[in-house]
Amino acid sequence: MAYCRRGPDSDLYVIGTGDGWECLCCPLTETVEVINGAKMYGSRHFKNISHLYSHLLDHVGAGHNVPQDALDRVEAEELGKEYVDPEIAFWLLLERLAAPRVVFEHLVRSQRITDMLDELTESGWESYPEDFFYDDEGWNQP
């Protein structure tokens, strides 16, 4: 399982292995070789999650880009807590509070209300007759 992958928001590639964790091609290790001008680094292996967390903080201190969620996940494991991604936690909370269909219908209704208000604004109406109503087809009269 990858804790972070090298990319625009990360200078590291950290994975869990069968017997610990590994910081692949770690910029804090010595250069192994240079290929076409690119430095190739060795990897660091950790058997203790606390050592990995300390290592990630060393990367932060060295000015490397370390994703906050990677630090949060390792810290949670170090403390023996379950890590839950904030975005996943949000959707889990929505599922607990309301059925997914209800959430979808609420979003559809919200869009319809927004459309209705936009139509009112564009038409220049300051008020509208009480017997008018708004549905899927727009403004209607009973």
Tell which residue, 45, 49, 48, 66, has the closest CA to residue 57.
66
Question: What are 97's two structure tokens?
Answer: 């509070």
pLDDT-based confidence at residue 101 (cuts at 50, 70, 90): low
Residue ranges of domains in the chain: 2-81, 89-140
Which whole number is the average pLDDT over 98-103? 56
Cα distance between the two ends of the chain: 60
Q: Do residues 112 and 137 lie in contact, with contact meaning Cβ atoms separated by under 8 Å?
A: no
Dihedral (C-alpha) 53, 56, 57, 61: value to the nearest 10 degrees? 170
Q: What is the pLDDT of residues 8-57, one digit of tens each?
A: 999 999 999 989 999 998 989 887 777 787 778 889 999 999 999 999 99
Q: What is the pLDDT of residues 117-135, one digit of tens each?
A: 677 667 665 555 555 555 6
Residue 142: the pLDDT is 53
Tell which residue, 93, 95, 71, 65, has the closest CA to residue 83.
71
- Single-letter code of the amino acid located at 77: E
pLDDT, the chain, mean: 78
